[in-house]
Amino acid sequence: MLRAYIRWIDAMNYRIGRFAMYGIFAMIGILLWSSFTKIASVPSLWTLEAAQFAIIAYFFIGGPYSIQMGSHVRMDLFYERWSAGKKALVDGITALFLLVYLAVLLWGAVGSTAYSLGHFGSEPFGFLAGIALGSEEVGTLERSRTIWRPYLWPIKVVMCIGIALMLLQALSELFKDILRLRGEALEAIET
């Protein structure tokens, strides 16, 4: 069952990550447009914030791929000299801390998203249940305080999706460490 979960989550996050890595070109395009309009003395009001939204989406949607590929920062002072079992144990403990952090981050992101959709209560997941049942009344949608004033819920939804995908990928990494500690080979699973 662990292997099936690892295979499914890794394949999904690999595909999403390969797609998301092209998001950097969206940000570059927005910033180039900003530069051209400033040179032409008609600066666009939306470009800076749109570029920020693009890089946030790039970061959060590409995060699970980064975890999967092991391209995050790691202190190699001692790590490279350790045995495979010790590496798996330390990585497993680290994955547990990451899971707790991501769960808290997801809780806050869902609350922030609920707020941006007009829910001002104290229970963000209760808001989602209310929408599903059709009993939730939505208040004013949150907007940015800049002159462009875009709605904030779309980027907050992207953040929630990205954090949830990172949570699933961190769980996959924990399962890989458990299998390594049991001495099982993972060559067929890893991409």
What is the reported pLDDT for 179? 92
- CA 150 centroid distance within chain: 21
Helices (H), 117-152: 124-133
Assigned domain for 14 exists: yes
Given a contact cutoff of 8 angstroms between Cβ atoms, the answer to whether 92 and 174 are in contact is yes
Compute the distance between CA of residue 90 and CA of residue 95 in angstroms, rounded to an integer: 9
Assigned domain for 153 exists: yes
What is the reported pLDDT for 42? 87
Assigned domain for 77 exists: yes
Domain that holds residue 73: 2-181
The token pair that represents 101 in the structure block = 């952090």
CA geometry: angle at 116 spanning 153 and 66, to 5°? 50
Assigned domain for 186 exists: no
Residue 75, helix vs strand vs coil? coil
Compute the distance between CA of residue 134 and CA of residue 123 in angstroms, rounded to an integer: 16
- Average pLDDT per consecutive 10 residues, the chain (191 residues; last block may be shorter): 92 94 93 93 89 94 92 78 90 94 94 81 61 59 88 94 97 94 71 48
- CA 185 centroid distance within chain: 28
Compute the distance between CA of residue 49 and CA of residue 54 in angstroms, rounded to an integer: 9
List of residues 6+ apart from 164 with CB closer than 8 A: 106
Q: Domain count of the chain?
A: 1
Residue with tokens 């190699």: 76
pTM confidence score: 0.83
What is the reported pLDDT for 125? 64
Assigned domain for 12 exists: yes
- CA 56 centroid distance within chain: 9
